Amino acid sequence: MRNRLVVLLMVLGVFTAPATASAAAGSLPLPYTGDANQVITVVAANPTATTATLIAWKRTATGWVAQLGPLKAYVGSGGIGQASEGSTKTPAGVWALTEAFGHHPAAGRLPYRQVDTSDWWVSDVNSAHYNTPYRCAPGACPFNEAAGENLGKVGRAYDRAVVMNYNRSPVVKGAGSAFFLHVSTNQPTAGCVSLGRPQMDAVLNWLDPAARPVINIGLG
């Protein structure tokens, strides 16, 4: 069964030999000292790069082993660094991956919401709901709808998405909101990380909440 899975992932372009070879030393390409057993690394060449290399790693008794990748990912049009509301930088650092959403029915093992036009991500810095999901009918929401994302109205990018827990506990108003790992539109993002649809599906199916997965974003 495992051999058939590897063959399928190779066909989809989400598993390649170089990633396994790079994992021989059992270490990650970015510093990490947490207790997650699944880590997705996103490494850009420099602070202004708008593409990065994404690899999904599993902790084993002998070190870290690459399981998906290396994959081409898009990051923010402002590169990688300190994010803030209104910037287009992807936030550098380590962020938990605890939930997912999308236009399509549930997939994978993370808690998942199938969204429609009553689902929002609040980016109104004056709202008590800043940087949280909220459900309300358009025109009847208790926040500035223009300063938020109607998740159901976003195109294919949100066919599948995983929430990055950046600025969520505690929430700092103005530090930035709505950062996701989502389907690529083949261009830099507004601060999220994106992958091609087959690769995104593979990552979503790989993520296991019991492994306390995180995404680790930085420069290499």
Q: Binning pLDDT at 50, 70 and 90, where does residue 114 land?
A: very high
Q: Which pLDDT belongs to residue 26?
A: 83
Q: What was the pLDDT predicted at 61?
A: 95
Q: Over 70: is that where the pLDDT of 124 sits?
A: yes
pLDDT for position 109: 98
At 157 the pLDDT is 98
- DSSP annotation of 159 reads S
Is 70 exceeded by the pLDDT of residue 14?
no
Q: What is the mean pLDDT of residues 52-64?
A: 97
pLDDT at 22 over 70: no
**pLDDT mean across residues, the chain:** 91
What's the pLDDT at 88? 97
**15-24, 48-57, 102-111: which has the minimum mean pLDDT?**
15-24
Instruction: Report the relative pairing of strands 133-135 and 193-195 from DSSP bridges.
Output: unpaired
Give the mean pLDDT of 104-123.
97
DSSP class per residue in 10-56: HHHT-B-HHHHHHTTT---SS---S--SEEEEEEESSTT-SEEEEEE
Q: What is d(CA 164, CA 193) in angstroms, rounded to the nearest whole number?
A: 9
**pTM summary value:** 0.89
Per-position DSSP letters for 94-144, written without gaps between them: EEEEEEEEESSPP-SSS-EEE--TTEEEE--TTSTTTTSEEE--TT--SS-
